[in-house]
Amino acid sequence: MCTIGEAGQNGVCKQRPLICSILDPNAWFKPERLHPQVESLIYWRDVKKSGIVFGAGLIILVAISCFSVISVFAYLSLLALFGTVAFRIYKSVTQAVQKTNDGHPFKEYLDLDLTLSQEKVQHIAGVAVAHLNGFTAELRRLFLVEDLIDSIKFGVILWVFTYIGAWFNGMTLVILAFVSLFTLPKVYENNKQSIDTYLDLVRTKLTEITDKIRVAIPIGKKPVAAATESDKDK
């Protein structure tokens, strides 16, 4: 088990990436890795804009939890369409009365280039594949018990998830995740030092317990002699 310092600049423990990253906030909250607009929203750089996005998103998620996705999509689309049509008519009437020629009110948005370049698609696909491969390799390591202690920890996490699944349905978890997205990063940013201090204490205790278990149950390790011979053969 590594400490926050051992997690390094990448924020991921090289020895046990899954277990380490769960207790390492630096692996979760890295604003420099986010798109500037996304970082501005979830870290509330512009309170007004973040409040609008957070409120609108929360209302949509609550509506989806109460009604079908199709109904919510249809009503929201109708509302948006009604607003744009009404505004278009209003601007047309205003231009006719004032005898001005300001053009289409949405011309700025109509001229936006929404196409994805081939390079952008390849970059996104490459990042997705890299994360998928890492996730698959980590699951294989845990399920096939490469390290007994890590697999036991993973089992405990899964056991906790069974209770979470019994308490909350999927949509409730999505709403909680959305709220956490707009609250936890800012809370950690404002209280980074104290949170890291407490997490280091937890890490130290877990390391002590893990080391004691590894000494008592030396499973999943190569014998020193065998490991040395294997290294020589390579």
Could you tell me if 15 and 2 are in contact, meaning their C-beta atoms sit under 8 angstroms apart? yes
CB atoms within 10 A of CB 1: 21
Contacting residues for 187 by C-beta, under 8 A, at least 6 apart: none
Scanning the structure block, which residue is given the tokens 């056991």?
Answer: 159
**Alpha-carbon distance values, 42 to 11, 57, 76, 182, 193 (Å):** 20, 12, 23, 5, 20
pLDDT at 64: 92
Q: Label residue 75 by pLDDT band (50, 70, 90).
A: very high
Helices of type H across the chain: 4-7, 17-22, 25-28, 36-42, 47-66, 69-98, 107-110, 118-143, 148-167, 170-190, 192-216, 224-233
Could you tell me if 133 and 127 are in contact, meaning their C-beta atoms sit under 8 angstroms apart? no
Query: What's at 83, amino acid-wise?
Result: G
CA 23 to chain centre: 15
Scanning the structure block, which residue is given the tokens 């696909």?
Answer: 125
pLDDT at 11: 40
pLDDT at 47: 93
Could you tell me if 152 and 21 are in contact, meaning their C-beta atoms sit under 8 angstroms apart? no
How many CA atoms are closer than 13 Å to the CA of 64, on its beta-carbon side? 17
Q: What percent of the chain has pLDDT over 70?
A: 80
How many CA atoms are closer than 13 Å to the CA of 151, on its beta-carbon side? 11
Residue 156 lies in a domain: yes
Question: How many domains does the chain contain in total?
Answer: 1
Average pLDDT over every residue of 150-162:
90
Structure-model confidence comparison of residues 105 and 73, the more confident one: 73
Q: Label residue 96 by pLDDT band (50, 70, 90).
A: confident
Residue 6 lies in a domain: no
Query: Could you list the residue range(s) of the whole structural domain that residue 186 is in?
Result: 34-98+131-216
Residue 4 lies in a domain: no
Q: How many residues make up the chain in this entry?
A: 234
> What is the pTM assigned to this prediction?
0.68
Q: Determine which of 5-19, 21-35, 175-189 has the lowest per-residue pLDDT on average.
A: 5-19
Residue 20 lies in a domain: no
Please check the confidence at residue 191 and state whether its pLDDT lies above 80.
Answer: yes
Residue 22 lies in a domain: no
Residue 180 lies in a domain: yes
Residue 116 lies in a domain: no
Average pLDDT over every residue of 8-37:
60
pLDDT at 140: 94
Residue 117 lies in a domain: no
Could you tell me if 26 and 4 are in contact, meaning their C-beta atoms sit under 8 angstroms apart? yes
